[in-house]
Amino acid sequence: MRAKVEVEVNGAVDGGVRRVAVLGAECTGKSQLCQALALTLPGITFSEVLREWVAVEGRSPNAEEQFQLFARQQEVEEKAAIDARRAGYGWVICDSAPLMTAVYSVYYFSDDRLIKEAVAHHGGYAQTLVCADDIAWVPDPGQRDGEAVRRAVQTKLMEILRRYCPQAVWVDGLLGARLNRALEALTS
């Protein structure tokens, strides 16, 4: 069991709860990092909305369904913030964010209609962590499209972040190194 980390953050606070966006293309270790951060800080995390949607529907979303996913991500984040406040936690670690839905819309459908709203929403995070694509890609039938897609989506994400969120923090290496870098970013 990890000890609770006491931190001071100059960032967005929602009723005493700080939200951290953990971004990256498929199979970049987002979920593992979210779980490790939630245990260490402590805080609350939740399953990636897109992953759950694909598991239920048995397919990838189409262009118009991106708007539903975007709204659902916001709803789940808000519920997690309420749950964190009630439980006395100061953190919500967001396994992905509406910005990733917007990135996928640009990549798969050449549709940038969600970017403006995603960027506005993104201002509500205390920090943005970006998981590097330097870990082995692992097949997950029905969920993942392949290493080439991972690389292309990661490139598109980085283009958008350079423009709209240049302060995002890159985390790479194995989980321990990623966790240390993330904690350093959250406490500096």
What's the pLDDT score for residue 116? 96
Per-residue pLDDT tens for 2-17? 333 333 333 455 578 9
CA–CA separation, 12 and 121 (whole Å): 11
Question: For the chain, which domains are there?
Answer: 20-187 (3.40.50.300)
pLDDT single digits (tens) 109-167: 999 999 999 999 999 999 999 999 999 888 676 666 788 999 999 999 999 999 999 99
> How far is the CA of 62 from the CAs of 53, 68, 79, 119, in angstroms?
12, 10, 25, 21
CB crowding 86-121: b at 16 or more within 10 Å, else e: eeebbbbbbbbbbbbbbbbbbbbeebeebbebbbeb
Sign, CA torsion 145/148/154/155: negative
Share of the chain above pLDDT 90, in %: 76
Q: What is the pLDDT of residue 51?
A: 85
In angstroms, the CA 75 to CA 67 distance is 12
- Cβ neighbors of 89 (< 8 A, separation 6 or more) are 17, 41, 42, 43, 44
Whether the model pTM is above 0.85: yes
